[in-house]
A and B are shown apart, each in its own frame.
Chain A
């Protein structure tokens, strides 16, 4: 079991969670950031990395992906630590007032304050409607994300999907796995043109099997996946022995476990006090798209402002007797931790 100790545990590595690391750093508070996705950036990385944003102060326009990269550079001096690819499930409060935040994979983060920056919720894979698919999850042959490519070394794989991640992983795993079959419902790929070309070239070189105009319709096995049925659009079905099946159909956000934490909610969002973005539970704060209050705007700019005020509140919660005086970064530069 992984155990981490920090001042603030930030749930969500979207723009607001990342900027909260900076604001916390100015107050010399350490942060650990957890995200269900394997990469940072939240909606900006997952939904619109190549879209320009026009309403970030000081940037007439900036690509969403570049804003995320800049935020990562900006927080470097504070050496935040990250747990990526793990969804936060719950927390418990200890007698000394500190918290232990727990993830789905059993990681525990001991912290003095929690900042929920969960945005629209944790991004979860879209699962195809295949009977009993879920009985092969959790290491039994069905994977919705490639976290560690080594898992698939020398295996027989079926990847399903026609978007960028299906193409990218087909290319990458072609060199690692024993056999890769890409199953796609259509006849043309709409992911990046050069990735589609690479997949075709790998197919011609005999390194990847391409099954077009088809879907994976059934999974079979006894405790462990041993084959899948691929059904062509004309109805013909073939059973193929496999070690792993990786359906890659993108992700969709779900509010998820935080909904059940007993915090005051309104319309699926966490109610906060705009003084410091505290929730109904002392020591737990909520910033960015996940919170609600009169006048709330779901904008990155507003989330940044909330992060600044939240950190003041977290500082007071952690050090009730210490007085904090605001210092401008222009005067003192950016302190390091």
Chain B
């Protein structure tokens, strides 16, 4: 049996909520966040086409570099920071354990 992986969502500075999910189901981070009740539109269902699953990685383990498709989508969004990622493009694996992230506004 695999251990659940834990990630932390920063709702306000210093205020973090732990969410955890299994690594053996091929889930994406977007699916975990959605399943944990976070309000993520994920309009395109995880195809890097809509940008509505945008998160900012604040701390934690190093992740794989974004693909060209992910970068293209991120660059088209009005807010992008060093840690910007599309949560649908990140697989839920053990390596994510301890990741701290923030949901990015979809329309500010």
Binding site for B on A (CB under 8 A): 43, 47-48, 51, 120, 124, 126-129, 161-163, 185-186, 190, 247, 249-250, 252-254
Contacts and interface: CB of A to CB of B under 8 A. Distances in A.
A253 to B, nearest CB: 6
Contact of A190 (B44, B72, B79, B105): B72
Given A47-B49, A185-B80, A190-B68, A252 B107 contact: yes
Given A127-B108, A252-B50, A190 B71 contact: yes
B78 A249 contact: yes
Nearest to B108: A129
B43 interface: yes
B11 interface: no
A128 B75 contact: no
B75 A252 contact: no
Nearest to B72: A190
Interface string B47-77: 1011110000000000000001001100111
A252 B51 contact: yes
B41 A249 contact: no
A126 to B, nearest CB: 5
A258 to B, nearest CB: 17
Contacts, number: 58
Contacts of A250: 51, 76-77
Q: Which 9 A-B pairs have the closest CB atoms?
A: A163-B76, A128-B78, A190-B72, A249-B78, A129-B108, A162-B75, A126-B78, A250-B76, A252-B107
A163 B77 CA distance: 9
Interface residues of B, number: 21
A253 B43 contact: yes
A253 B52 CA distance: 9
A162 B107 contact: no
A47 B43 contact: yes
Nearest to A160: B78
B106 interface: yes
The majority secondary structure among interface residues of chain B is loop
A262 B80 CA distance: 37
B76 A252 contact: no
Contacts of B107: 124, 126-127, 252, 254
23 contacts: A47-B43, A47-B50, A51-B49, A126-B78, A126-B106, A127-B107, A127-B108, A128-B78, A129-B78, A129-B105, A129-B108, A163-B76, A185-B75, A186-B75, A190-B72, A190-B76, A247-B78, A250-B51, A250-B76, A252-B41, A252-B43, A252-B52, A252-B107
Contacts of B80: 185
Interface string B19-41: 00000000000000000000001
A126 B51 CA distance: 10
A337 B44 CA distance: 37
Nearest to A186: B75
Nearest to A163: B76
Contacts of A185: 75, 80
A47 B77 CA distance: 14
A129 B77 CA distance: 11
A252 B75 CA distance: 15
A219 to B, nearest CB: 14
Given A51-B49, A127-B108, A250-B51, 9 more contacts: A43-B43, A47-B49, A48-B44, A126-B51, A129-B105, A161-B76, A185-B80, A249-B76, A252-B106
A120 B106 CA distance: 14
Contacts of B43: 43, 47, 120, 252-253
Nearest to A164: B76
